[in-house]
Chain A
Amino acid sequence: MQKNAYFSGLTVPALLLLPQLAITLVFFYWPASQAVWQSFLLQDAFGISTDFVWFENYVTLFSKPGYYKAFVNTAIFSTFVCILSLSIALLFAVMADRQLRGAEVFTTLLIWPYAVAPAIAGVLWLFMFDPSLGMLARGLQSLGIAWNPRLDGNHAMALVILAATWKQISYNFLFFLAGLQSIPKSVIEAAVIDGARPMRRFWTIVFPLLSPTTFFLLVVNIVYVFFDTFGIIDTVTGGGPSGATETLVYKVYSDGKGGSDLGGSAAQSVILLIMVIAMTAVQFKFIERKVSY
């Protein structure tokens, strides 16, 4: 893709690109390459000598059950958050897409949690479900559930899933609504004339036509759960109890904190890096296909 009318010269475009390239090189490429380099180094316990150890950090990493646990936690966490936030948001979007009076007010009232910081969302949910003073925690306890996310790993996981879902509904809602509004009304009217009931119309026409949006949101949601939920996990559980809510990103942070296991933390960074690049590639391949329709 290229303009037919353009300027020529080298100095001016070089100067225009300089700020962004400089910042990207210093704060992106340099640290990323350092992460790769560090993942091959091992520091002794006293930090005196550093050896180049090839893949030892990776081998150690995969020999520890804690790392598999972080994988499993991340998988459970992302599955629940994606399914819950996507399906709830789709339901709301379908409802808001009917030409209701006041639909815009509902839209406004549903989208603002996007602006709430993940860490703050965590604090709100922590407060409601605090085992001793939280209003909803007391409700659960009065139902006979021994609710205590500080001791019970499943409770802790449920709590971070709820907080992360609550925060993500607004984002998915917006994109689903935009997707629904771009479906031509004539298609649906044709189905009405053919006598298709609303539910059937939704599953055979609307939902398939919405699939590009759904797929796009799925990728974005996975990236959201991987990285943006750090603030939620840190404020709600701190990865606990005993690692029950420690996700891959959280482990990069907790293993590298205080410089205790920089090599291991760097190796985890590299693995995450590869996973994100793979996801981005999948998404772009998909977008390419969409463009060629």
Chain B
Amino acid sequence: MVEDRRLGDAIAYVILSIGVLIVAFPVWLTFVASSWDNPTIINGQLPLYPGPYLFDNYYRILFVGTSGSTREPVASMMLNSFVMALAIALGKIVISVLSAYAVVYYRFPFRMTAFWIIFVTLMLPVEVRIFPTFKVVSDLNMLDTYQGLAVPLIASATGTLLFRQFFMTIPDELLEASRIDGAGPFRFFKDTVIPLSITTIAALFVIQFIYGWNQYLWPLLITTKDSMQTIVIGIRKMIVTSDALTEWPLAMATAMLAMLPPVFVVIVMQRLFVKGLVETEK
């Protein structure tokens, strides 16, 4: 704006570059570790540049698995994570679009009661009620199933609030106009509300996909079979307290693979991601 801009800009570049370094260094080190062999790492001789075992390590971890702790190949863990994240994201969108439509576009007794029943769940994460929820899921025979992984995490108010907020901004004239055209609630929903909500839906999808992919405690409790493990759980089982038994290059390759999909989503869909984040939280 004014003054000695150049000095200020130079300082800003330096500070931002340091920030990027702080943010990126742990990940770079993980990438490097995933490209060397175990003895190099265990001896503490890990250099700062990638080594020759990159392809071998990733091939082995994706399709064969580690030799010790979890024998499951990571490709199948990634599939589990993907199914769970997708089910959570889509499930949340479907149930919350429907309930928000009912709350905003209908007048019926107990409308506000229904809204408050949903609203109260806003800030209470599954961690608080973890064991009773586990018991419900096990009584319903949903342990080690995709339903068990996804459905309990769908129960939250974020999406409903977001859609309610958005629907309130849709002008009433649109409903009146589509009424004149002879449209009922279903046609109005399908032809007007959903097309207008596409960006909001996409933004919520991005946020919820990341949320689902990164789940930890819940899948840790309710998956007992190795074949149902998600990748975030898989890596935890690869890291054994005794250093000598941990196959670090494979564990680090798994960490890279676990970060890849959500980070990719954030970078490629940055605008949707920012929109989703800012709007779901406010």
Contact = CB atoms under 8 A, between A and B. Distances in A.
Interface of A: 1-10, 12-14, 16-17, 19-21, 23-32, 34-35, 38, 88, 91-92, 95-96, 98, 100, 106, 108-121, 123-128, 130, 132-135, 138, 166, 169-171, 174-175, 178, 185, 188-189, 192, 198, 216, 220, 223, 227-228, 230-231, 234-235, 249, 252-253, 256, 262, 265-266, 269, 272-273, 276-277, 279-280
Contacts of B262: 115-117
A61 B70 CA distance: 37
Interface of B: 1-3, 8-9, 11-13, 15-16, 19-20, 22-24, 26-27, 29-30, 33, 41-44, 46, 94-96, 98-99, 101-109, 111, 114, 117-118, 121-125, 127-133, 135-137, 151-152, 154-155, 160, 168, 172, 175-176, 179, 185, 210, 213-217, 220, 232, 235-236, 239, 243, 248, 251-252, 255, 258-259, 262-263, 265-267, 270, 273-274, 277-278, 281-282
16 contacts: A12-B106, A13-B108, A16-B99, A25-B117, A28-B124, A28-B129, A109-B23, A111-B266, A117-B232, A130-B243, A132-B44, A133-B43, A188-B1, A216-B282, A234-B236, A252-B128
B266 A20 contact: no
A96 B16 contact: yes
A227 to B, nearest CB: 5
B133 A27 contact: yes
Which are the 5 A-B pairs with shortest beta-carbon distances? A31-B132, A117-B214, A115-B262, A16-B102, A231-B216
Given A16-B101, A112-B267, A24 B121 contact: yes
A27 B155 contact: yes
A278 B154 CA distance: 24
Contacts of A23: 95, 151-152, 154-155
Nearest to A189: B1
A34 B131 CA distance: 9
Given A7-B185, A10-B108, A130-B243, A117 B216 contact: yes
Given A92-B15, A189-B1, A279-B123, A28 B155 contact: yes
Nearest to A275: B128
Contact of B259 (A92, A115, A178): A115
Contacts of A114: 210, 266, 277
B266 A120 contact: no
A120 B42 CA distance: 20
Q: Which of B15, B123, B220 has the most CB of A within 10 A?
A: B123
Q: Which of A185, A253, A277 has the most CB of B within 10 A?
A: A253
B175 A124 contact: no
Q: Which of B20, B127, B128 has the most CB of A within 10 A?
A: B128
B108 A227 contact: no
A177 B19 CA distance: 15
Contacts of A235: 236, 239
Nearest to A283: B123
A216 B277 CA distance: 13
Contacts of B16: 92, 95-96, 100, 106, 110
A20 B99 contact: yes
Contact residues of A: prevailing secondary structure: helix
Contact of B23 (A3, A113, A134): A113
B232 A231 contact: yes
A256 B185 CA distance: 48
B129 A35 contact: yes
A163 B255 CA distance: 15
Contacts of B236: 119, 123, 234-235
A231 B8 contact: no
Given A16-B99, A31-B132, A231-B217, A119 B270 contact: no
Q: Which of B185, B213, B217, B232 has the most CB of A within 10 A?
A: B217
Contacts of A117: 213-216, 232, 258-259, 262
A225 B152 CA distance: 22
B255 A7 contact: no
